[in-house]
Amino acid sequence: MFGALPEPGSAASRELVVPDRAHIATPLPAHAVKLLSARFLDDPPEGSWRLFSTGVTSVAVSSSYASPEETAVHWGNFLTQLVHGEELGGMTLYLGTPSEVSELCGSYDALGCYAPGWTRIVAVGESSEGVRPEAVVTHEYGHYIAAHRQNSPWRALDWGTKRWASAMNVCARTRKHKMFPGAEDWAYPLNPGEGFAETYRFLNGQPTGTVGMDWPIVDELFYPDARALQAARRDVLAPWTQPTNVRLAGRLDATGHVKVTVSTPLDGNLELAAQGATVGGGSATARRVVCGVRRTPVALTGKPRSAFVLNVTRP
Q: Which comes out higher in pLDDT, residue 109 or 192?
A: 192
Least-confidence region, from 72-76, 110-114, 212-216, 291-295: 212-216
Check whether 39 has a pLDDT greater than 80.
no
Q: Per this entry, what is the length of the chain? A: 315
Of residues 215, 208, 212, the one with CA closest to residue 21:
208
Strand spans (E) along the chain: 33-35, 49-53, 58-62, 92-96, 112-114, 120-124, 244-251, 257-263, 268-275, 278-279, 285-290, 295-301, 307-314
Q: What is the pLDDT of residue 109?
A: 83
Q: What is the mean pLDDT of residues 222-248?
A: 95
What proportion of the chain, given as a percentage, has pLDDT over 70?
Answer: 90
Q: What is the pLDDT of residue 46?
A: 59
Q: Which comes out higher in pLDDT, residue 44 or 191?
A: 191
Q: What is the pLDDT of residue 209?
A: 47
Q: Give 4-32 pLDDT, tens digit per residue.
A: 333 544 444 689 999 999 999 888 887 78
The whole-model pTM stands at 0.90
Residue type, 300: L
Q: Give 256-301 pLDDT, tens digit per residue.
A: 999 999 999 999 999 999 999 999 878 999 999 999 999 999 999 9
Q: What is the pLDDT of residue 281?
A: 77
Spatial strand order of the sheet with 278-279 comes to: 257-263, 295-301, 278-279
